[in-house]
Structure 1
């Protein structure tokens, strides 16, 4: 055994890796845990507040969620909320704003009305808002620049007084800080250690980084788009390819919206619809986005990773067919073209305003500016076996003591739920004990059972 041997090594110090680090320390009898992070601090990529919408995606206003998916996401979202309240992180890590999904025009209005009826049983706090009520609670969505009501029929469904917003970098820091306080356990963190190679020799994993060498009995890779890159290097997940989607934002010069306003998702589009959010790191100013642009690299605002993208895409006839099937749909084709134009200087803001005015009809060119340095890369997975683009998260559990997680939205919201799934696998594989009762007591909210609830 090498000096740097651990029961479990976690690769990646974003919110997913930090959550797993915390749960292994808090809820298991594993006493030797290590986290390896490529950069010099935690959550410097997609978990950073500037790289995401800072939203707890619990399924109540995310109109691309089915009732079944919403029920699952709600459970894990409540874990984040309960953890933060347990440690008194209100207005430090977790924040409360009003939130709503907006329906504009006859079809969307009808959709929101029906969705409200369907989802009310799962979210008893949901409220339905008429145009008159929206004018009171979120006036910017109703009145144009002349102070006149917009002519379209418009309604909303949402909530007030719920926890809606999280600084996921700050959350990551708390996971680590609270784990390091645990006594009688080895809980090591090594920064500036980029993993270059993982090899299994016998029953032990050997990990070579830019700085050192480590060994472990079990490895979990929570490294964003690089999770699949490392999986491929070990011969796992070869039926998957990675399509890195970058999101950009526009920042308003003031607080325009009182809370989070989401639009109805086009069911054909696999990416989030435009929304407006109060940015907790920029004085509550309203941030609009995201756009969606495919980038040929695995990390935004970092040098390199172009070759990593090519290797992880695994371009072949099947990938080309997936792209063809996507682009032959005019809605998707036009969406992709428009989002590309959102990145072109001089015309990008005018084009973006056309979409953003569906939320705020009075929005003008002077109100917003391109948010330089904001946005991240989400690893959307191409399922080559089923020849389609996967939505949401993917995990490769090899059954051989190593797991690779790819966690685009709602990965940050689901960090504690995803982590406990991995904790159970780790304990079963290594023969350790998971304290399920303590976990449930501290993090799982008891849900009332309704006859029509999923």
Structure 2
């Protein structure tokens, strides 16, 4: 087998791995980096535009964010926007739409009103939209048909214009790799069809056995989604953690029903995104509804059965895991949510069940107006901590302080790719005694 050494090897060519490669090239003195992707293209899985909500999560219309979380996320969300503007990617893979979170009924409308008063400090562009205002900017959330209006009280909070809301993170991943290779005059390489089978550390080197070679590295960052924990377990790390892969699916309307993003109020008990409707930038802005949330015994959704067997190896099922599952199902909200989302995946039943939920956004929606979005949606790993006995929501990250990092679930999703990269950079340069130009980094992303 051939063998080549790099200072840093990144496993996983999605948005997080691509952003890290770009940041290493642009802000550090690291001279040799390899990005390894097991499939034949950059961002083939969750970062692919068809596999996520294409949303820049700023915290303004995500009602499960606390004030402090929103304040942090608002800053993080500017980073991919700054990057896209620097390279003139607006209206290429980054777009501006109106956006809002819609409250339906007295309780949700009161929540929207109170959040507006508090959160406008962070987001001064926020507006409140009552039913009359919504008739002009998002008429399909108001009218049941061409004559009658919905009877419930509704109130929305959001931004009408001027905010970037939408990114094709797959296209952005490609740009990040290309720009990293352009910036660096050193040894920055992309290896496609490069499946890492095993990682071992011998002395001060990591040995990565792939499908056709052995690569060595001084430092390794694993950005492989659900497989990050799988590889960590192989190396003996984080044995107390397990993963519950949750697949998100979507439905397409047969026409454009919404002018912008319309989110629903989030149930705080649930870690999954509330149902929303968006103009899909990869489907001529047809309205796409979703995501659903289905627990799936696979680490990857569309790629054969290998990840099915790997899921059970990664789950490490025992009495502690069983108790966590039982405790989750005892909660009526969670149990009903899981049952409902299971129905969304069953042919013939799925559309009937889903349209009832989607009518909360578009009350005139009919069964014949939607179709299941085949091959759309990805898998997000939810981390289970056996020590705490809980399903842990939010970011999943294992920092070993031994030259290898495992990133599982970035928060808030792809939007946080540069924030995740910054954290990784700090660990990498400390471990390798390298230099990170933080002033240049801050100038690019925050000024």
TM bucket, shorter chain: over 0.9
Alpha-carbon distance between aligned partners in 2 of 1:403 and 1:346, rounded to the nearest angstrom: 44
Question: Once the two structures are superposed, what CA deviation does each residue of 1:341-364 show, in whole Å capped at 9, x if it has no partner?
Answer: 111111110110000000000001
Alpha-carbon distance between aligned partners in 1 of 2:254 and 2:4, rounded to the nearest angstrom: 49
Alpha-carbon distance between aligned partners in 1 of 2:282 and 2:409, rounded to the nearest angstrom: 23
Alpha-carbon distance between aligned partners in 1 of 2:266 and 2:301, rounded to the nearest angstrom: 25
Alpha-carbon distance between aligned partners in 2 of 1:146 and 1:22, rounded to the nearest angstrom: 50
Q: Which residue of 2 aligns with 1:373?
A: 375
Aligned-residue offset at 1:409? 5.3
Alpha-carbon distance between aligned partners in 2 of 1:231 and 1:216, rounded to the nearest angstrom: 16
Matches within 5 A, 1:422-437: 422-437=424-439
Instruction: Please provide the CA RMSD for this pair.
Output: 1.0
| Other structure's SS at 1:413 match | helix
| TM-score, with length taken from structure 1 | 0.96
Aligned-residue offset at 1:408? 5.1
Alpha-carbon distance between aligned partners in 2 of 1:330 and 1:107, rounded to the nearest angstrom: 20
Alpha-carbon distance between aligned partners in 1 of 2:147 and 2:89, rounded to the nearest angstrom: 39
Q: Which residue of 2 aligns with 1:150?
A: 150
Alpha-carbon distance between aligned partners in 1 of 2:327 and 2:55, rounded to the nearest angstrom: 31
| Other structure's SS at 1:102 match | strand
Alpha-carbon distance between aligned partners in 1 of 2:268 and 2:412, rounded to the nearest angstrom: 17
| TM-score, with length taken from structure 2 | 0.98
Check whether the contact 1:16–1:411 (CA below 8 A) recurs between aligned residues. Answer: no
Structure 2 spans left out of the alignment, 5+ residues: none
Matches within 5 A, 1:289-328: 289-304=290-305, 305-328=307-330
Check whether the contact 2:3–2:214 (CA below 8 A) recurs between aligned residues. Answer: no
Q: Does 1:177 align with 2:174?
A: no
Check whether the contact 1:250–1:289 (CA below 8 A) recurs between aligned residues. Answer: yes
Q: Which residue of 2 aligns with 1:192?
A: 193
Alpha-carbon distance between aligned partners in 2 of 1:247 and 1:409, rounded to the nearest angstrom: 16
Alpha-carbon distance between aligned partners in 2 of 1:74 and 1:47, rounded to the nearest angstrom: 21
Question: Once the two structures are superposed, what CA deviation does each residue of 1:29-70 show, in whole Å capped at 9, x if it has no partner?
Answer: 011111110000000000001100000001000111111111
| Other structure's SS at 1:261 match | strand
| Other structure's SS at 1:404 match | strand
Q: Does 1:403 align with 2:410?
A: no
Check whether the contact 2:33–2:188 (CA below 8 A) recurs between aligned residues. Answer: yes
Aligned-residue offset at 1:312? 1.1
Aligned-residue offset at 1:260? 0.2
Check whether the contact 2:263–2:277 (CA below 8 A) recurs between aligned residues. Answer: yes
Q: Does 1:340 align with 2:342?
A: yes
Aligned-residue offset at 1:131? 1.1
Structure 1 spans left out of the alignment, 5+ residues: 446-454
Q: Which residue of 1 aligns with 2:13?
A: 13
Aligned-residue offset at 1:182? 2.1
Moved over 3 A (4+): none
Alpha-carbon distance between aligned partners in 1 of 2:18 and 2:204, rounded to the nearest angstrom: 25
Check whether the contact 2:26–2:184 (CA below 8 A) recurs between aligned residues. Answer: no
Alpha-carbon distance between aligned partners in 2 of 1:202 and 1:229, rounded to the nearest angstrom: 23
Number of residues of Structure 1 aligned to a counterpart in Structure 2: 444
Question: Once the two structures are superposed, what CA deviation does each residue of 1:244-290 show, in whole Å capped at 9, x if it has no partner?
Answer: 00011000111100000000011112211110011000000000001
Q: Which residue of 1 aligns with 2:28?
A: 28
Alpha-carbon distance between aligned partners in 2 of 1:182 and 1:272, rounded to the nearest angstrom: 36
Q: Which residue of 2 aligns with 1:272?
A: 273
Alpha-carbon distance between aligned partners in 2 of 1:72 and 1:406, rounded to the nearest angstrom: 20
Question: Once the two structures are superposed, what CA deviation does each residue of 1:375-423 show, in whole Å capped at 9, x if it has no partner?
Answer: 1111111111111111122110000000000125522100011001100
Aligned-residue offset at 1:147? 2.8
Q: Does 1:135 align with 2:115?
A: no
Question: Once the two structures are superposed, what CA deviation does each residue of 1:173-229 show, in whole Å capped at 9, x if it has no partner?
Answer: 110010111243110111101000000000110000002110000000000000000
Check whether the contact 2:98–2:158 (CA below 8 A) recurs between aligned residues. Answer: yes
Check whether the contact 1:253–1:285 (CA below 8 A) recurs between aligned residues. Answer: yes
Q: Does 1:420 align with 2:431?
A: no
Alpha-carbon distance between aligned partners in 2 of 1:207 and 1:370, rounded to the nearest angstrom: 40
Q: Does 1:90 align with 2:101?
A: no
Q: Pick from 359, 378, 384: which aligns with 1:382?
A: 384
Aligned-residue offset at 1:3? 4.4
